[in-house]
Every structure is written in C-alpha cells, then in structure tokens.
Amino acid sequence: MSSLEDFMLPCLNKQLFGVDCLGCGLQRSFLFLITGDFIAAFKMYPAIYSLLLLGIFIIFNFYFKFKYDYQLKMGLIALNVSIIVGSYILKITH
C-alpha cells in the first residue's frame, strides 16, 4: 500500500496553514476502499460511501433520465455536504 501512497497529492491547506481541509483523508480512504479495508475507509473519511453512491447515481443518470432525478441528486448532495461538514467539525473539535 505504501507504493500507492507515494502518488497521493499532498493537502496544500495542511502544508500552508497546518489545518486539515474538508477533503483531507479522501485519497487515503479511497485507497483503503480499493484494497478492501472498508472499516478503515469509513474511519478515514466518513463520506466515502455516500460520495460513491452519488458518483454512481450521476453516471447512471447521465444515461437514464427519470421523473425525480433532480430531487434525488440534490438530496444526495445535501447528504454528502452534511456528512462532510459534520465529520470535519468532529475532527477539529476532538
């Protein structure tokens, strides 16, 4: 796994200001996900599964349109934003 970590982009916000950003942990979480460590992926970045669901939905919706696709997409986006912001607040306060 360390060989894949060599190709990860560093967080510019963390390098410049010493503070995690809202996306810190996403790359490492995705790496955990593709290597099969699903619990570590969730612990590293709790929104990984909802982001994956949103991505799959957007790709699916690109090819197939249905009646309430916009509302569902906006709901998934709101869910992701709330999970990302909530987990960030928990991370910086604890």
Per run of 10 residues, the mean pLDDT along the chain (length 94 residues) is: 74 86 91 94 96 96 93 97 96 89
Contact 33, 25 (CB under 8 A): no
| pLDDT of res. 62 | 94
Q: What is the C-alpha to C-alpha distance for residues 76 and 88, in angstroms, rounded to an integer?
A: 18
Tell me the pTM: 0.84
Res 49: pLDDT: 97
* Cβ atoms < 10 Å from Cβ of 36: 8
The residues near 88 (Cβ < 8 Å, ≥ 6 apart) are 20, 22
Q: Which two tokens stand for residue 59?
A: 């790709």
Torsion angle of C-alpha atoms 34, 37, 42, 44, degrees rounded to 10: -90
